[in-house]
Structure 1
Amino acid sequence: MTDASTRASEAAESLRAATGVDHFDIALILGSGWGGAADLIGEEVASVPAADLPGFDAHAVAGHSAEMRALRTEDGRHVLVLGARQHYYQVRDAGKVAHAVRMAAAAGCTQLVITNGCGSTRPEVGPGSVVLMADHINATGATPLEGATFVDMTQTYSPRLRDLALAIDPELPSGVYIQFSGPQYETPAEVRMATTLGADLVGMSTALEAIAAREAGLEILGLSLVTNLAAGIGGENLNHQEVLDVGSSSGPRISRLLADIVEGMR
């Protein structure tokens, strides 16, 4: 067992003790704007400050929760909401970024929904749009994997779960997400580069978490909320308050969408 898996197992044991839930089924990472979905998915069984679990630090990014929440759906499944998302720009350690995903897998989860707020390189997919992640580009120069760990990334984002999401909302566009390291927003030149590489969405999360989830064998669904047009696309300066404002205004609609998707996941 590697050091990372040992730490994940220790965190999972602490999570079980704190929540009283022996086995979780689905994990959710709720990015900017997505937090309200938890209240629609099921009854809260327990809530644990992330900093109380091994391997997590206190969280301070506006728009993100610092709690791990245990939910129970009407049909008896247990959903783990992974609060205190540890962004790469905060910790500069891909292993720490992946820790929550690895804990979820150690706690029994077999499915993971990753959400985020992001910029769009496509003017027709503007703020408030939800995009199904079809693939990603990892532009951080980092990975949570160590040594000769060769993980297949061919179908990172589950076609089956994407079909489920499209059955609920057939109008959802698909796109490729690129993760930059942040915390600065991308320059217009970097956005042009990303577009040339095939990216439709730009952000500062998700790819490293997805790599760890693939290593753990989780089935992944990725959903992005477009909070702004990327630098040089819309002509406006970028700021985090814009991200929060679009997340707030879109929250009820996208939360209902995510809750409906989770209801259909098996």
Structure 2
Amino acid sequence: MSEQMKKITEAEQYIRERITFLPEVALILGSGLGILDELMEETTVISYGDIPHFPVSTVEGHAGDLIVGKIGGKPVIMMKGRFHLYEGYDVQIVTLPIRVMKALGVKSLLVTNAAGGVNTSFQPGDLMLIEDHINLTSMNPLIGKNESALGVRFPDMSDAYSRRLREVAVRKAAENNIPLQKGVYFGLLGPNYETPAEIRMIRVLGGDAVGMSTVGEVIAARHSGIEVIGISCISNMAAGILDQPLSHHEVMETTEKVKQKFLDFVVSIIPEL
């Protein structure tokens, strides 16, 4: 057994021994968005630090718990806080939870993030349905020898963010009167915010929002055969659009303001995942 498979197996077995039912849906929650646990029932909370080979999140707004429970009767597994490349973690470690969740039986993933608005028609507090992404982190979790037990050598990414689930999201937003933007998420390494020149480049290249997470997780999920839907909370306008400096405090303030809208939207989607 390879070192990667050993880590996946040991983490999966540790979690499996501590839960009473297996999850079908995975949730990864970005900065300030880890509030869905308030709506979960029959929960089991496992600290990242207790799970074999899991790192610990070091970023404000990212708790360090894996939670298994039910939302609207649907068995879910939730990452309350994620790991980032800029924290110094290897891309295989950042995406390890995806592999473990697949081993536990997860079939679909709802991934969220706080992102900077590049599209000038966006406003802080908007929710954006991710239609596609551009990965300029310079990292890819599939580099190296392919583990055929995890997925094919050359996975297709033409429907990285499931068209079926995007249609569900658009319908649910309309039913609940929740304004919903759509766009392309542009993934960079971080941790510094982008320069105004970089934001102009990203706009020219087709990005609508920019962030420092998500793309590696989605690549690993699609490699694993997991169906993906992604939602960005536009927490601030990116550098150079407004005449003000950027800060993580602003990100946290904005996600707090949109908390109820975000909860209503995500909860409406989960039963159809």
Residue segments in structure 2 that go unaligned for 5+ positions in a row: 147-152
Distance 1:196 1:147, change over 3 A: farther
Which whole-Å deviations, capped at 9, do the CAs of 1:7-51 have from their partners, x for residues lacking one? Answer: 122211111112233x210000011232122322x3042101011
Which amino acid in the other structure matches residue 10 of structure 1?
A: E
Distance 1:245 1:44, change over 3 A: farther
- Of residues 157, 164, 171, the one that matches 1:167 is 171
The correspondence of residues 41-56 of structure 1 with structure 2, limited to 5 A, is: 42-56=40-54
Distance 1:74 1:242, change over 3 A: closer
**How far apart, CA to CA, are the structure 1 residues paired with 2:112 and 2:127?**
10
**How far apart, CA to CA, are the structure 2 residues paired with 1:185 and 1:53?**
31
**How far apart, CA to CA, are the structure 2 residues paired with 1:232 and 1:59?**
29
Q: How much is the aligned-residue C-alpha RMSD, in angstroms?
A: 1.4
The residue matched to 2:17 in structure 1 has which SS? helix
Residues paired across the two proteins, number: 262
Q: Name 2:100's counterpart in structure 1.
A: 103
Which amino acid in the other structure matches residue 9 of structure 2?
A: S
Q: Name 2:244's counterpart in structure 1.
A: 236
Residue segments in structure 1 that go unaligned for 5+ positions in a row: none
**How far apart, CA to CA, are the structure 2 residues paired with 1:70 and 1:56?**
16
- Confirm whether residue 158 of structure 1 aligns to residue 168 of structure 2: no
Distance 1:73 1:228, change over 3 A: closer
The residue matched to 1:169 in structure 2 has which SS? helix
Q: CA deviation at 1:230?
A: 0.5
Whether the aligned pair in 1 keeps the contact of 2:98 and 2:221 (CA below 8 Å) is yes
Q: Name 1:200's counterpart in structure 2.
A: 208
Whether the aligned pair in 2 keeps the contact of 1:45 and 1:72 (CA below 8 Å) is yes
Q: Name 2:149's counterpart in structure 1.
A: none
Runs of 4 or more, structure 1, over 4 Å off, are none
Whether the aligned pair in 2 keeps the contact of 1:50 and 1:57 (CA below 8 Å) is yes
TM-score, normalised relative to structure 2: 0.92
- Confirm whether residue 5 of structure 1 aligns to residue 13 of structure 2: no
Q: Name 1:256's counterpart in structure 2.
A: 264
Q: CA deviation at 1:65?
A: 1.5
Which whole-Å deviations, capped at 9, do the CAs of 1:60-87 have from their partners, x for residues lacking one? Answer: 2111111110112343x31000134111
Q: Name 2:23's counterpart in structure 1.
A: 24
TM-score, normalised relative to structure 1: 0.94
